[in-house]
Structure 1
Amino acid sequence: MSTTSIRKTPLLRVRDLTVTYPGGARAVRGVDLEVEAGRKLGIAGESGCGKSTLALALLRLLPAGAEVSGEILLNGEDVLAMKWGQVRAVRWAGASIVFQGAMHSLNAVHRIGDQIAEPILLHTETTRAAARERAGELLEQVGLPAARVDAYPHELSGGQRQRVMIAMALACGPELIIADEPTTALDVMIQAQILRLIEQLVAEQDLGLIMISHDLAVLSDTCDRLAVMYAGRVVEQGPASEVYARAVHPYSRALSGAFPRIGDPASRFAPQGLPGDPPDPVALPAGCTFHPRCPSATEACATQDQVLRVAGPGREAACLLVGPREAGAAEGAEEARSTS
């Protein structure tokens, strides 16, 4: 029997997570998420919507002064209630993070083998020689020769450095990987290789994965479920392919429509978009925070805040105009457009 089948609770359960920075910036507002072992959750949204703040909060990596409330249950234990010694033990060994921009995350004056070995030495009782050997094994696991342990970061390509970051994330055998824009600045061929590598590792090691990106197409192709964030909140979530192809929240539809679809001349020559920017987290608008940019906004949207409601099987959306009936109508309209 697999670990996934006997697990009674999700690997990660986030409840009512709120993050406020000094000055009153509400970067994350009441987010609920779940991730099971062997499953992949994508988190999408524009810059400034709270995705990276959410990722940092999961491992208590936020800067001093940030106020955090809610629950972050990793294997049933609340990360926010842990003492610092427990938090340090959870990082790398329980959950680890792959940051965007590998060149900025790696130390330019240390060999990559030493950098991969560092968390192994900190979290396990082993020798330096054994840790270096393990670093070589991890490099091979992500598709690089073990001999590259002696290389410096500048001697590797962008895709190779990203593979090193993934190897570091796997160093202590975590159950959860958080990947924050793992393919930023990579060309499309290397991007595809990195995404396939991540999928393979999740399947082989029964890992839980949270992948953060602004690219809904990448997330729909890689993840099982997708959560779309706007102004610090999840405004839609559901099966990744369905949210991408048949979004029901106006913001999700705008994000999806901004990406041209291969084989669809209409989207290629007239990609949809959304004017304006996400609101200032210090001065959020009243009512639904998306209403100033929403093409479907009504007078009620300016005064009534919205929470997630059922929007179809396994789907939720935070919109006054969305419910099971409206979700079905939106899906039917999308299918009609695709066949016309």
Structure 2
Amino acid sequence: MTTTTGVTPQAGAGGATSLLEVRNLRVTYGTGPTAVPAVRGVDLTVESGSKLGIAGESGCGKSTLALALLRLLPPAAKLSGQILLDGEDVLTMKWGRLRAVRWAGASIVFQGAMHSLNAVHRIGDQIAEPLLLHGRATPGAARSRAAELLEQVGLSAARADAYPHELSGGQRQRVMIAMALACDPRLIVADEPTTALDVMIQAQILRLIEHLVAEQNISLLMISHDLAVLADTCDRLAVMYAGRIVEEGPARGVYDAAEHPYGRALSAAFPRIGDLASRRAPRGLPGDPPDPAALPSGCTFHPRCPVALDSCAHDDQELRDVGPGRRAACLRAGTPIAVGTAGPTEPMSGTAGPTGAVEPSS
């Protein structure tokens, strides 16, 4: 994709060029005193050829963030900040330019393939549609390209004549990936691409995405609630809670030793192969993410945090450096936390303070 604004793409860590750079992105639904903040000042970078994962529970703002990247949100959503794609701000693009960027500059694999595919059109026609809309092929050539893409994602070219209901869930998800690849984008945003699939098909789809991204040198931003999936697929990982990034760093490092208590809770929520204790008693996190319309004061995670201090109830935390390539928004980050044998979310030893938070022993 060609930059038309004269903005030079920024260099990331190690001199790599930032393909996508999100700066202080805020998304609210509605206006005035009833406005609901869904994304609250997110900053993130996806370098060319890299894979970034975003993790968090349902309701933390992941899908809103994904849709905001290409301005796919409804009119009720108000956006501010910057979304720089190859140095060009998506939020200030005119409609014609934005239409040209979608599919060709960046594309999205949605989590519900059956809801994204048109039930009354053959899948070959739906894969060919972006090629025709962007003037990249004649109808005949677009049809041939659709057949090639189907084979590329592990389906027979003959399936081009099938309707969505004639395919399995895994096959429909492969069709969505083929559509996302049709116009040779530089960035693919995968929003929970395997959520509705069984574990065997999920593994196949993840390996397919990983292979295609590596083979075609495409950048990937993958969204999931499963840290294990992201740690196995992505280079870096960002943990999102209540509309904000609360931790980011190398994917395996965040998964194995998260600095933020929420990251540790997400990691411990799934049993690990070879870890008998976690298989017998996977640890979760009580409660639910806060309602965006009624966020608690201070650190939004403190009502659920097993190691919260009294000050967390009124002092919010910003992301800060806590190690090489690591950032976290927590007072505890960068300091040792006593961990018991039950798992990485074990509270620090101490007594409960007046707010019910755990205070360290003297």
Q: What value does the CA root-mean-square deviation take over the aligned residues?
A: 2.0
User: 5+ residue gaps in structure 2?
Assistant: 1-10, 345-362
Matches of 1:271 and 1:199, distance apart in 2: 27
Partner of 1:35: 46
Q: Which amino acid aligns with 1:206?
A: N
* 2:18 alignment partner in structure 1: 10
**TM-score, length-normalised on structure 1?**
0.93
State the alpha-carbon separation in 2 of the partners of residues 258 and 88 from structure 1.
40
Separation (CA, whole Å) in 2 of partners of 1:292 and 1:238: 25
Residues in 2 aligned to 1:65 and 1:147: alpha-carbon distance in whole angstroms: 42
SS of the equivalent of 2:291 reads coil
CA separation of 1:268 and 1:232: change in aligned 2, threshold 3 A: same
Opposite residue 265 of structure 1, the aligned amino acid is: L
Question: Retained in 2: the 8 A contact 1:44–1:51?
Answer: yes
Q: Closer, same or farther in 2 for the Cα pair 1:191/1:8, shift >3 Å?
A: closer
1:227 aligned to 231, 235, 238, which one?
Answer: 238
CA contact (8 A) 1:246 1:334 kept: no
Alignment of 1:269-288 (within 5 A): 269-288=280-299
Distance of 1:24 and 1:153 partners within structure 2:
38
Q: Does 1:135 align with 2:143?
A: no
Please say if 1:20 is aligned against 2:28: yes
Q: What's the TM-score, normalizing by structure 2?
A: 0.88
Which residue identity lines up with residue 311 of structure 2 in the other structure? A
Question: CA deviation digits over 1:246-272, x for unaligned, max 9?
Answer: 111001111111111112121112211
Tell whether 2:193 aligns with 1:185. no
AA aligned to 1:279 is P
Deviations along 1:280-315, whole A, 9 cap, x unmatched?
111111100000111111111011111001121111
- Which protein has the bigger helix share? 1
Match for residue 218 of structure 1?
A: 229
Question: What is the distance in 1 between the residues matched to 2:58 and 2:35?
Answer: 18
Residue of structure 2 equivalent to 1:289: 300
Q: Residues 127-206 of structure 1: matches in 2 within 5 Å?
A: 127-206=138-217
CA–CA separation in structure 2 for the residues paired with 1:47 and 1:189: 23
* d(CA) in 2 for partners of 1:309, 1:164: 41
1:8 positional shift: 6.1
CA contact (8 A) 1:224 1:240 kept: yes
* Equivalent residues of 1:44, 1:216 under 8 A apart: yes
> 1:126 Cα shift?
2.5
Counterpart Cα distance in 1 of 2:56 and 2:46: 19
The 2-side partners of 1:318 and 1:83 are apart by: 35
Given the superposition, is the C-alpha separation of residues 274 and 120 from structure 1 closer, same or farther in structure 2, using an over 3 Å criterion?
A: same
Identical-pair percentage: 76
Instruction: Decide whether the 8 Å contact of 2:110 with 2:191 is kept in 1.
Output: yes
Deviates more, 1:306-315 or 1:123-132: 123-132
How has the CA–CA distance of structure 1 residues 334 and 222 changed in structure 2, closer, same or farther, with 3 Å as cutoff? farther
CA distance in 1, matches of 2:267, 2:105: 33
After TM superposition, the structure 1 stretch with the greater mean CA deviation from structure 2, 21-30 or 53-62, is 21-30
Aligned partner of residue 293 in structure 1, secondary structure: coil
2:104 is the counterpart of 1:93? yes
Aligned partner (choices 81, 84, 90) of residue 70 of structure 1: 81
Per the TM alignment, residue 75 of structure 1 is displaced from its structure 2 partner at its CA by: 0.3
Higher relative contact order (CA 8 A, sep 6+): 1
